[in-house]
Structure 1
Amino acid sequence: MTLQAELRVERAGFTLDLDLAIEPGEVVALLGPNGAGKTTALRALAGLLASTSRIRHNGSTWDGLPAEKRPIGVVFQDYLLFAHMSALDNVAFGLRARGTRKAEANAVALRWLDQIGLADFAHARPRRLSGGQAQRVALARALATSPELLLLDEPLAALDASTRLRVRSELGRHLQDYPGHTLLVTHDPLDAMVLADRLVILEHGRVVQQGSPRDVVRQPRTDYVAHLVGLNFYRGVARGTEVLLDDGGTLSIAEPADGPVHVVFPPSAVSLYPAKPAGSPRNTWQAVVSGIEQHAHTTRVDLDGSPSVLADITTATVAELRLQPGDALWVSLKATEIHTYPR
């Protein structure tokens, strides 16, 4: 059965107004900038703050239930394992709190520890566990009570980069086997793209876009979403193969369009030259370097112009152009690299 939540939270200067529907076995990722309402939504679902929310599932409502009575498992960003308890006792805690006999609770906990590959650490306390091991124990503790809803609050944020890759893969396998409903709160687009079936983007307490990771990546609707997926993003009005951009400048496009449109293209599609390129490509304009940032195997160049643009270029190109902030360059962009879609 679909889990349906109408989350309404009012506090000074902020209102959360969010409708969520999560299918059985579905992982929904909630993304948004700081202050968008992600954590507020999670806490409202968990019953950890006062709200006028309505939550319905399988013919029952959770609205008036206190946090400890809701059929929910939570994995917090810092895991919040009980330091004085062993891994076994941590996983068994939720069952014991709900009245399960100790022997039965421990048997269930041991099965979970075996499933996550930590049976040998059953009697270890959290300080003996690595970050990845602690994350898995926290997940097992959340799932041991067979919750109808699993809430993941930045579950990989406390891990270093090398551990994160492996644990993300492990978490994905466990989520594939979980038959309940999962809400993942994260600020990391890669976590969301890899783990989630559907993305819900929050800004200022309201949904601005939702859809499959593929759909969101292909057609961002706001500046935040475009930045999240790493695309140059503009609004404009198309007339045939020309788009007049709202913030200045004109771009030629390969596929004719008409009316208000969004315009996107990847920074890797942008070429930079010290002088106007020969051959007169359909889109060339002058811009000034305002920032240079090293990424893994490329360099991200921020350029002010009409329009302003982000370009990803190789280290060799940086050396060839001897780039410095304030340098004036020519920007070139093929019309075939530009994607438009209605606003």
Structure 2
Amino acid sequence: MTLYADLRVARAAFELDLSLSVEPGEVVALLGPNGAGKTTALRAIAGLLPINGGQIRLGGEVWDEPPRVFRSADRRPIGVVFQDYLLFDHLSALENVAFGMRARGVDKRAARADAARWLDTVGLAEHAKSRPRSLSGGQAQRVALVRALATHPELLLLDEPLAALDASTTLHVRAELGQHLNRYEGRTLLVTHDPLDAMVLADRLVIVENGRVVQEGAPTEIARRPRTDYVAQLVGLNLYRGTAEGTTVMLTGGGSLTIASPTSGGVYVAFPPSAVSLYPERPTGTPRNTWPMTVSGIEQHAHTVRVRLTARNAAAPATLLADITTAAVADLQLTPGQHLHATLKATEIQTYPT
């Protein structure tokens, strides 16, 4: 059975209007900036927030369809892992995991035995009697996950499940979470603002901005062909929209560039910042994509330096990102406000229809 959610929620000045589906065994990530409507969507699907219009159903079973149907959260076959896990501080790890089963009518002895088995599957058998405050962030995350899975839900909802972890723990726990999700046969909806969590854990991404779906597809497709500035920034690409005629693209925001293969009509053009080269003077044997630019910002990015550039004439893209080495920064003696030239090979540019 497929989960279908056609969500329309109006709250003060914000309006959510999006549709999504999740198949059995599939992990779908709802990805977007803060305030995009991701948590509102999750709360609506969980039954914590009634929708104003649309429908939520699992197969032929309707959970919410105003004004006729509203099934409360405790009557939906779901498991939820919240951002801060929301474990019960006064209960042990074992009792936390058993809680959901007890709430569904399983007797105490059977629930505890099942909870012990679940804790063993995530390597926490020796912490069964521990209270949440004595657990590490990664351990608490695993307790919250198996508490949600112990009730054998049809739908697992993960709300920023790694956000509370420190950087040194996240990598390990992300890999571990991926293994558990691979074994889970139900449907998983992951809400996150972290592109790495989404790319690593999800089979399909649904990108949300301002309460609307702006792009949807497999992680590799999203990364290769972004369709909004937000998505381009997530995957680290320069992205422009324009109109192509032959090998020339006139950019919507001003400027033009030359592409390798002729095309026509509305297109997106995308290329990585690493494809942009910087020179103090206009280079000889100049590629056709050479523009005078001004340095507007310099940021350290892992092992490279990201340089933000703005156009110095109407022929150049209005803004441009370039990734260069720290040695190149020293050679160019880069400073904000500096004038230099940027070049880009046509063969480095990807184009696709708008």
TM-score, with structure 1 as normaliser: 0.98
Measured against aligned partners, the alpha-carbon deviations of 1:313-334 in whole angstroms (never above 9, x if no partner) come to 0010011111110001100100
Deviation for aligned residue 1:203? 1.2
Q: Name 2:341's counterpart in structure 1.
A: 330
Deviation for aligned residue 1:14? 1.5
Deviation for aligned residue 1:50? 2.4
What is the distance in 2 between the residues matched to 1:247 and 1:58?
A: 45
Aligned-partner SS, 1:202: strand
Matches within 5 A, 1:81-230: 81-230=87-236
Deviation for aligned residue 1:104? 0.6
Aligned-partner SS, 2:96: helix
Aligned-partner SS, 1:62: strand
Residue identity matched to 1:268: S
Structure 1 stretch displaced more, 86-95 or 61-70? 61-70
Deviation for aligned residue 1:196? 0.2
Aligned-partner SS, 1:7: strand
Aligned residues: 343
What is the distance in 2 between the residues matched to 1:273 and 1:19?
A: 47
| Structure 2, unaligned runs of 5 or more | 65-69
Matches within 5 A, 1:271-290: 271-290=277-296
Q: Note if 1:71 corresponds to 2:77.
A: yes
Q: Name 1:309's counterpart in structure 2.
A: 320
Measured against aligned partners, the alpha-carbon deviations of 1:147-205 in whole angstroms (never above 9, x if no partner) come to 01100000001111111000000000000000000000000000000000000011111
Q: Name 1:240's counterpart in structure 2.
A: 246
Q: Name 2:32's counterpart in structure 1.
A: 32
What is the distance in 2 between the residues matched to 1:277 and 1:91?
A: 65
Which of the numbers 259, 265, 269 marks the counterpart of 1:263? Answer: 269
Residue identity matched to 1:29: A
Q: Note if 1:54 corresponds to 2:65.
A: no
Which of the numbers 300, 308, 325 marks the counterpart of 1:294? Answer: 300
Residue identity matched to 2:195: P
What is the distance in 1 between the residues matched to 2:142 and 2:117?
A: 13
What is the distance in 2 between the residues matched to 1:326 and 1:123?
A: 60
Q: How large is the Cα RMSD of the aligned pairs?
A: 0.9
- Percent identity over the alignment is 71
Deviation for aligned residue 1:60? 1.4
What is the distance in 2 between the residues matched to 1:91 and 1:322?
A: 58
| Structure 1, unaligned runs of 5 or more | none
Aligned-partner SS, 2:171: helix
Residue identity matched to 1:3: L
Aligned-partner SS, 2:253: coil
Deviation for aligned residue 1:34? 1.6
Q: Name 2:350's counterpart in structure 1.
A: 339
Large movers: runs of 4+ above 3 Å: none
Residue identity matched to 2:106: T
Structure 1 stretch displaced more, 88-97 or 45-54? 45-54
Residue identity matched to 1:276: R
What is the distance in 1 between the residues matched to 2:19 and 2:286?
A: 50
Structure 1 stretch displaced more, 68-77 or 49-58? 49-58
